[in-house]
Structure 1
Amino acid sequence: MLKTLGDTLDRIFQMVLACLFAGLIGVVFMQVAARNILMVPMTWTLDLAQLLFSWCIFLGAAFAYRRGGHYLVNLWPKNSPLNIIPKIATYLAAAIVVYVLVRHGIIMSLIGLNRVALSLNISEFWFYLPIPICGAFIGLFTIEALLDRNSK
């Protein structure tokens, strides 16, 4: 059940990240073209690029974590009984990261409710929201990996 959810989220993340990254490239291109070719400053593009970048970074981190591409430690051969040591360290580190991202990400997001990105006229809540969302997804993917590992 959790594996099916993870696989579905993986496909959704791929599509969303592709759209966010394309949007980021488009906004930055528009900013550079407007400034250097048209000689017209477009200040809203700075905030929009920052917003898209924030979502790309944090959703991309969760996406990479699920695929095992966020970080990898190879200390011993694959079938060594000592491989349990880095696995335990990995799950403990993931739990700490999830706690920090979720707890402090929520705090930052709530602080952002009281601030407005003037050029976009939206709450800065949206700039910080990907932090706790990323933490929640990494937590979900950690549970998925633990259950998958224990079922083998």
Structure 2
Amino acid sequence: MPPSEPSRLSIRSIAVDAPFTPLSIGSSGQLDAPPANDPNLVGWFKDGATPGERGTSVVAGHVDTKTGPAVFLLLSTLKAGNTVDITREDGKVASFKVDTVETFSKADFPSDRVYSDNGTAQLRLITCGGLYDKKAKDYKDNVVVFAHLVSGKNG
């Protein structure tokens, strides 16, 4: 599919219906998280592939915030074969099929594997997971959904 910014994420199997905000790489060298003041907001890495375009599109969302559960609370429950739909600004819907859902330690995150470009349209959904570290005020792990484009059609 040609490049087009995402506007809405829909994952029916876990009741996700959320708008997008663009994200950048922060001063830490890692992808910034979406603003925590909106628990139903997802972000996409604006300097990478847009969803449906050749390359790996990266979408991040919170599992929870200080106010309660957030958009990706149930992300870790997705299974291979589940569908993820992303409506784009051009009106087309990029549909992705989940390949695997994996959990990685933030201390040993496999960036090359998660972000690599294999020449096809790929999607990665990322959120926090594992145990919560009260001292660090952060989760110890990341949950990553690996998915590939199965169709692109008019919405």
When normalised by structure 2's length, the TM-score is 0.23
User: Quick check: which has more Rg, 1 or 2?
Assistant: 1
Greater percentage in helix: 1
